[in-house]
């Protein structure tokens, strides 16, 4: 019963300052929406995948060898080595030169992510940029320059293109809906906190119930404000 009374008191506190509880989350969500839609530049992501390992010949024997577990494990280890080659200064400098990019190697390196796909021989080159066409172009150029570097360094043609990068039509960030939802929830939590803080700091007596709580005795009567009644 006491718990029910406490919950009712909390609800009364929220209802007393309902404007804060409603307005603050809406302001937070609106602000987040404006920032997400109009101020933050959308970022696009393009990726290309390559398979690392020796190309199988037409013979069934060679194809079986390619599926051998030891060969697959070796190629997976090579994928990690090739990931380092793909993001090397030499490869990135060639990409900048080919595309005539106004970027330094350090700037380009921040846009690129090389990820060996787990338990496979596949290597993924992922590029993020505010320009979707440029992101796809960088990814495909990276794949070409990487293949050239591998041929030169490893002396074998062991990289095959699986998927070329295409121009993305949707940005990967910002996630506008998620941002607005998070802002609304945070605003709601802040509003509840503000309401209870104001209630804690407010030590004025407004009703007969407040008097009973403070003095611990029942209120026998209330003197009305006659001036207020006359004005009404």
Q: Are both 108 and 215 inside the same structural domain?
A: no
Angle at 175 between CA 170 and CA 179, to 5 degrees: 160
Residue 205: pLDDT over 50: yes
Given 140, 163, 186, the domain boundary residue is 163
Q: Does residue 86 lie in a domain region?
A: yes
Domain containing residue 10: 2-38+175-231
* Domain's final residue, options 138, 163, 188: 163
Examine residue 145 and state whether it is found in any structural domain, yes or no.
Answer: yes
Q: Are residues 130 and 61 in the same domain?
A: yes
Does residue 56 belong to any structural domain of this protein? Answer: yes
Instruction: Write the pLDDT tens digit of every residue in 30-66.
Output: 999 999 999 999 999 999 998 865 554 444 444 454 4
Q: Give the DSSP per-residue string, 137-171.
A: HHHHHHHHHHHHHHHHHHSS--EEEEE-----SS-
User: 109, 128, 163 — which closes off a domain?
Assistant: 163
Average pLDDT estimate for 128-153? 90
Q: What's residue 61's pLDDT?
A: 44
Candidate from 18-27, 90-99, 217-226 with smallest mean pLDDT: 217-226
Q: Is residue 74 part of a domain?
A: yes
- Put simply, whether the predicted model's pTM sits higher than 0.75 gets the answer no
| One domain, residues 57 and 100 | yes
Number of structural domains found in the chain? 2
């Amino acid at each position: 019963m006491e718990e029910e009374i406490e919950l009712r008191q909390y609800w009364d506190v929220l209802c007393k300052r309902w404007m804060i509880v409603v307005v603050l989350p809406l302001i937070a969500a609106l602000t987040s929406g404006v920032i997400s839609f109009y101020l933050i530049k959308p970022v696009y992501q393009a990726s290309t995948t390559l398979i690392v390992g020796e190309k199988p010949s037409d013979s069934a024997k060679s194809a079986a060898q390619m599926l051998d577990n030891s060969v697959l494990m070796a190629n997976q280890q090579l994928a990690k080595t090739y990931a380092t080659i793909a993001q090397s200064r030499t490869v990135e400098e060639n990409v900048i030169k080919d595309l005539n990019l106004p970027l330094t190697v350090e700037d380009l390196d921040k846009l690129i992510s090389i990820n060996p796909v787990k338990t496979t021989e596949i290597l993924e080159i992922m590029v993020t940029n505010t320009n979707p066409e440029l992101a796809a172009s960088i990814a495909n150029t990276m794949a070409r320059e990487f293949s050239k570097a591998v041929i030169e360094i490893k002396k074998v043609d062991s990289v095959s293109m699986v998927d070329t990068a295409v121009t993305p039509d949707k940005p990967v960030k910002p996630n506008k809906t998620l941002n607005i939802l998070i802002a609304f929830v945070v605003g709601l939590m802040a509003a509840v906190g503000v309401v209870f803080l104001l209630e804690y700091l407010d030590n004025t007596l407004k009703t007969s119930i407040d008097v009973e709580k403070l003095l611990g005795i029942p209120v026998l009567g209330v003197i009305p404000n006659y001036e207020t009644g006359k004005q009404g």
